[in-house]
Amino acid sequence: MLLDHDACYRAVAAKDARFDGQFVTAVRTTGIYCRPSCPVPPPRSRNVEFLRTAAAAQTAGYRACRRCLPDAVPGSPEWNLRADAAGRAMRLIADGVVERDGVPGLASRLGYSPRQLGRILTSEVGAGPLALARAQRAHTARILVETTPLGLADVAFAAGFGSVRQFNDTVRTVYGVPPSQLRAEAARRSRTREPGPPGALVLRLPYRSPFDPHGLLDHLAARAVDGVEAVTGGTYRRTLRLPHGPAVVALDLTARAGAVVATLRASDPRDIGPAVS
């Protein structure tokens, strides 16, 4: 898919949040990529290129802006709706299939060879399955680093990294700083953490505006499945069937602007990444 440079630049110049998630703005002079609505002064048109996804920007050598957090949702919203191979692949990657079964396992689920799948994804979103999985892991890791008290080694494995060194290298490449600095910066921005019950993990999950939490809660309450889902006040609770066991999550949709507060009880820490996704 090609992006019209002039149309994209007009959206960036206007800081139009409606285009967040449709593309990212990569600035050649700084090596940083941003959302269209990033509050910094817009760069010159000749210094930017526009890419479909955070993974495509990372593959091209750009790092995420730490002010507008363009990787808050690594893929484009349209991939949640598309029924073709690329859309299905994006959803399976977000579910952690690459970490569990590798690229051959992902390709087998979709009925393609690994090489064919790589060509499809590179053509559609500008990055192959490994780069997309890496972007998803980095996104999960940032959430866990910034919003939970988990040790950094625990974060590394919960996010799907094979080693702490791989985790450190990826975070440094994607965000330009080590995980410890991400945590320190988050602590300076917010001196408080949401207290959680024993055995539970509390996370802040960012979302893209516009978002209508009350309308969503009404929709979920009207369709709740007894014994699986429940809506109480501003909180949605449900059970999850994850790759390594069951989990229970409570999502407080109205507690904080810009993020959903999630309280997660997972039976296996390896399922934290898929649960966050």
- Show Cβ contacts of residue 6 under 8 Å, excluding neighbours closer than 6 positions: none
- Residue of 32, 64, 65, 141 marked active site: 65
**Number of Cα atoms under 13 Å in the Cβ half of residue 235:** 11
- Show Cβ contacts of residue 127 under 8 Å, excluding neighbours closer than 6 positions: 53, 55, 56, 58, 59, 121, 135
Contact between 148 and 196 under an 8 Å Cβ cutoff? The reply is no
Q: What is the C-alpha to C-alpha distance for residues 115 and 104, in angstroms, rounded to an integer?
A: 9
Tell me whether residue 8 is one of the annotated catalytic residues. Answer: no
Tell me whether residue 68 is one of the annotated catalytic residues. Answer: yes
- Residue of 12, 26, 38, 202 marked active site: 38
What is 15-76 written as a DSSP string?
T-GGGBTTBEEEETTTTEEE-TT-SSPPPPGGGEEEESSHHHHHHTT-EE-TTT-TTSS-S-
- Residue of 68, 203, 242, 272 marked active site: 68
Whether a cis peptide bond, with omega within 30° of 0, leads into 195 is no
Contact between 80 and 91 under an 8 Å Cβ cutoff? The reply is yes
What order of strands is seen across the sheet that includes strand 245-256? 201-206, 259-266, 245-256, 235-242, 229-232
Q: How far is CA 33 from CA 30, 58, 197, 254, in A?
A: 9, 9, 37, 30
- Residue of 27, 34, 264, 275 marked active site: 34
**Residues known to be catalytic:** 34, 38, 65, 68
